[in-house]
Structure 1
Amino acid sequence: MTTDDYYNQHANEFISTTFAVEMERLYEPFLTNLSENARILDVGCGSGRDTLAFKRLGYQVEAIDSSEELVKHASALTGIKVRHQSFYDLEEDAVYDGIWACASLLHCERPRLFEVVLKLIQALKPNGVLYMSFKYGNQDREHNGRMFTDLNETQAEALLQQYPDIALLQQWLSIDQRPERSEKWLNLLWKKHG
């Protein structure tokens, strides 16, 4: 089973456990770095929860996900035509003011993480901001048919150092907000130089 197969087969279960999670504390550092009406790309949008929140706040939002079932659900929920696309296939240049990659790049193969993050950086306008979150740790692992690339501070710093036109705005740990979950998450907020 691939990660996409997992989300296609378990879409309803995934949506039911993630949709109601309180996200405002994570949105705030990202959105305070964006102007009104900024253009945002939600990478790996899942249920469409964050896409809908940003749309309701007046931002221009686009979204992608590599699971066909989640794309259908997110499109219906948000009224936005979510693109069935993997972050591996992103090829845009200087289009977005902000890119939101919440709990999505943790499914990127570690050997391709540099390449994928570079694609996100290239898709950002000058002064654009990139938010990413990873499960906290240093392993590559498989769980319930999904592949995970965990990240810790040392690995995040090593990744950041590979991009000369990027600055760290903020980095922090948070605790999973889902009931009966206590996993730690590493949150990264980067800015592209003007």
Structure 2
Amino acid sequence: MSDTLDNLSYYNKYAEHFFETTYLLQIDDLYEPFLSYLPPKSLILDLGCGSGRDTLAFKNKGYQVEALDYSIELVKKATQLTGLNVKHESFYNLTTTTKYDGIWACASLLHCKRDQLIDVITRIHLALKPNGICYMSFKYGDKDREQNGRSFTDLNEEQAHSLLKDINHLLVLKQWITLDQRPDHDEKWLNILFKRVP
């Protein structure tokens, strides 16, 4: 779990910088495909909410929102930003079943160990209601790597297919590549939208 602890140490140490560089980013083009499947006032879980940017956006759009993050410093930031009681919890420990209409995992599972991705995605799948929707995003690539004190699990289309194909009652709705919205980043992202089919 050393890479998990390294990531945690990074986000606790640089919470202020991370918050300031992410909370104002406009990513409505990512919200739209996800929210198009959700009825008004649906219950959404922001899994690994970071700054709380997306939690606040969903709240302001009239959805019910729960949020969690494993960095206690980011939990404090997100709680302050959103006015919600953000949970201090890891996605590795998600045990809720059949609760959420939607789960939003934007740039959070990229810190999940590759050999535990199938377990975490299965937990997400089980936490969705039938016909529930999940959005998740990864930096585009095919390697496990370290950069600036953090570990990343990159994903490409073939790896995503291999990862998701054996989960029963999971239907991939859309998979697409986008460019990083931050002005000082030129990375590509793999975005995945899937549904828990009854």
Normalised-by-shorter TM-score class: over 0.9
Q: How does 1:155-166 map to 2 (within 5 A)?
A: 155-166=159-170
Structure 2: runs of 5+ lacking an equivalent: none
Q: How does 1:1-194 map to 2 (within 5 A)?
A: 2-194=6-198
Cα offset, 1:167, TM superposition: 0.5
Q: What CA deviation, in whole Å up to 9, does each residue of 1:26-76 have, x standing for no partner?
A: 000000000000000000000000000000000000000000000001011
Cα offset, 1:137, TM superposition: 0.1
Alignment partners' CA distance in 1, 2:89 and 2:148: 23
Alignment partners' CA distance in 1, 2:188 and 2:23: 19
SS in 1 for 2:130: strand
- The amino acid across from 1:32 in the alignment is S
Alignment partners' CA distance in 2, 1:165 and 1:152: 22
SS in 1 for 2:173: strand
Alignment partners' CA distance in 2, 1:68 and 1:190: 29
Structure 1: runs of 5+ lacking an equivalent: none
Quick one: percent identity of the two aligned structures?
57
Return the TM-score normalized by structure 1: 0.99
- The amino acid across from 1:175 in the alignment is L
Cα offset, 1:127, TM superposition: 0.1
Work out the number of aligned pairs and report it: 194
Task: Supply the RMSD in Å over aligned alpha carbons.
Answer: 0.7
SS in 1 for 2:45: strand
Q: What CA deviation, in whole Å up to 9, does each residue of 1:3-42 have, x standing for no partner?
A: 0110000001111111121110000000000000000000
SS in 2 for 1:2: helix
Q: What CA deviation, in whole Å up to 9, does each residue of 1:104-150 have, x standing for no partner?
A: 00000000000000000010000000000000000001111111000
Contact 2:19 2:77 in 1 (8 A): no
Alignment partners' CA distance in 2, 1:102 and 1:70: 15
- The amino acid across from 1:35 in the alignment is P
